[in-house]
C-alpha cells in the first residue's frame, strides 16, 4: 500500500508540474508548489452532488429579505468550505469551474 501511495503521489506531482509549470516557468520553490498542490486538492475535494430544496432571495417577489423555498433539484457544485459551509454558492461557481 505504501509503495502504491508513493507512486500515485509522484505521478500527481509530475502531472501537476507538467500542467501548471510552477517550477519550470514560474520559478516557484518546492514549498510554493506543495502549497499550490494542497490548494488545488482542497478545491477538488469540495466538489459535491446535492439534491433538495434551496432557500433563495428573490427581489421581484415583494420582500427581498424573505427567502423562498425552491422545488427539489440536483446541484453539482464546489463548496467554499467543506467543514464550515458545505453548500454551493452561485457567486463563486465560475472560480471553481476555471479549474474543473
Query: Is the whole model's pTM more than 0.85, yes or no?
Result: no
Tell me how many domains the chain contains: 2
Task: Give the range of the structural domain holding residue 81, as residue numbers without chain letter.
Answer: 47-100
> 2-20 and 30-45 helices cross at what angle (nearest 10)?
100
Residues 53 and 98 in one domain: yes
Span 58-83, mean pLDDT? 80
d(CA 10, CA 27): 20
Residues 8 and 30 in one domain: yes
Residues 36 and 51 in one domain: no
pLDDT band at 83 (very low <50, low <70, confident <90, very high): confident
Residues 57 and 39 in one domain: no
Residues 30 and 54 in one domain: no
Check: CB of residue 90 under 8 Å from CB of residue 96. no
Residues 61 and 95 in one domain: yes
pLDDT exceeds 90 at position 76: no
pLDDT exceeds 80 at position 51: yes
Residues 86 and 66 in one domain: yes
pLDDT exceeds 80 at position 54: yes
Residues 68 and 20 in one domain: no
The C-alpha cell that represents 96 in the structure block: 471553481
Amino acid at each position: 500500500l505504501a509503495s502504491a501511495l508513493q507512486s500515485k503521489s509522484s505521478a500527481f506531482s509530475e502531472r501537476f508540474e507538467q500542467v501548471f509549470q510552477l517550477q519550470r516557468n514560474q520559478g516557484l520553490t518546492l514549498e510554493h508548489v506543495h502549497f499550490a498542490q494542497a490548494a488545488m486538492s482542497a478545491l477538488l475535494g469540495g466538489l459535491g452532488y446535492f439534491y433538495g430544496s434551496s432557500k433563495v432571495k428573490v427581489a421581484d417577489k415583494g420582500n427581498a429579505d424573505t427567502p423562498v423555498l425552491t422545488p427539489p433539484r440536483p446541484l453539482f457544485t464546489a463548496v467554499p468550505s467543506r467543514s464550515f459551509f458545505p453548500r454551493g454558492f452561485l457567486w463563486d461557481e465560475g472560480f471553481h469551474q476555471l479549474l474543473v
